[in-house]
Amino acid sequence: MNPHQLLRTAMLLGLFVTLAGGYALLWGAGRLHASRLLAGAGYLCYAAQWTIAAMLWIGSDLGLPWKLLLAASAAACSLIPRVSLHYVRQLEEPTEG
């Protein structure tokens, strides 16, 4: 991998992580505030994250184990906000006792 490819791959990986955070934040805020606009923006971040993953899969010199990790990470990102929101809502519920 030459320096140009390394820099391009590093920038795309940084964008991948940033989009994962954007998806979680916007989707979660959209669900908590019943805002379709925020939730939709979160879904756009998630779609962009998969686009970046595809670009890295096709256009980078990453080895197969790294590409598989990238795909697994993108898939796992779809679950994390939902699970987190579930636990946040459980914390908000009053407990009896």
Cβ neighbourhood burial of 71 (10 Å; 0-12, 13-18, 19+): middle
Closest by CA position to 55, among listed 26, 12, 15, 94:
12
Q: Is 2 helix (H, G, I), strand (E, B) or coil?
A: coil
Choose between 28 and 94: higher pLDDT: 28
Choose between 78 and 94: higher pLDDT: 78
Residue 97 has pLDDT above 70, yes or no: no
Q: Which two tokens stand for residue 57?
A: 């899969």
Mean of all residue pLDDT scores within the chain: 91
User: pTM (2 decimals)?
Assistant: 0.82
> pLDDT tens digits for 12-56?
999 999 999 999 999 989 998 999 999 999 999 999 999 999 999
Domain ranges for the chain: 23-92
**Interior angle at CA 14, CA 9 and CA 19, nearest 5:** 125
Q: Contact, 12 vs 55, CB < 8 A?
A: yes
SS (H, E, C) 54-81: HHHHHHCCCCHHHHHHHHHHHHHHCCHH
* Confidence band of 84 (pLDDT split at 50, 70, 90): confident
Q: Contact, 41 vs 30, CB < 8 A?
A: yes
